[in-house]
Amino acid sequence: EEVGMELRDVKVAGDVGVAVGRSGLLLRSANGGASWATVDHGLTVETLQHVAHGAGSFVVSFRSGVLVSSDGLSWTAEQTSSEGWNHLHWVHDRFLSSGWLQSEGLRGSPDGHVWNHAEFVPEQLYELPAITQVTGVIVATGNYYRGDHQIAVSLDGQRWR
């Protein structure tokens, strides 16, 4: 099915899929991605950035917060008062979100509803496009605008070096 708008990210968990994009586009699939339908999330936002799935919920990032849903149909806006929600990942037992600016840092949440700033040290890296877990260690690659080889590691997703 042709959408006609730029998609930014997609996640499928079981039969349910969620895709996000420009102009606040949010799509849902109930059949593992075979077909998609537009979902009204209730916000007027320019771009939905990224989507992650974990702890039984989908979480979608946008410039000033996140949307949270257990089924991809009904959405709740969280943390909509601060700027700087961009990259979003589910790693080990939590969602991790990084912003665009150094001062925005890294946030973590076990459920997508309650977020805390991580203790983040290495030159306060930001804009973390890739975060993954490798043998019990969480590894994040840093800001592409500051050059290559920006890497931070954590054992718990809260304290980084």
- Asked whether the predicted pLDDT for residue 21 surpasses 70, the reply is yes
Contact 10, 52 (CB under 8 A): no
Residues 38-51 pLDDT 10s: 999 988 787 999 99
**Per DSSP, what are the bridge partners of residue 69?**
58
88 vs 161 pLDDT, higher one: 88
Q: Which of 155, 88, 83 is nearest to 119 (CA)?
A: 155
Confidence (pLDDT) at 64: 85
The set of long-range contacts for 4-8, using a CB threshold of 8 Å and a minimum separation of 24, is 8/47, 8/48, 8/49, 8/50
Mean pLDDT over each residue of the chain, to the nearest integer: 84
- Asked whether the predicted pLDDT for residue 57 surpasses 80, the reply is yes
The residue-averaged pLDDT of 2-12 equals 84
Spatial neighbors of 34 by CB under 8 A, at least 6 apart, are none
Q: Is 110 exposed, middle or buried (0-12, 13-18, 19+ CB in 10 A)?
A: middle
59 vs 115 pLDDT, higher one: 59
155 vs 45 pLDDT, higher one: 155
Confidence (pLDDT) at 67: 95
Residues 78-137 pLDDT 10s: 876 666 788 889 998 999 888 766 556 778 899 999 988 876 655 555 567 778 888 889
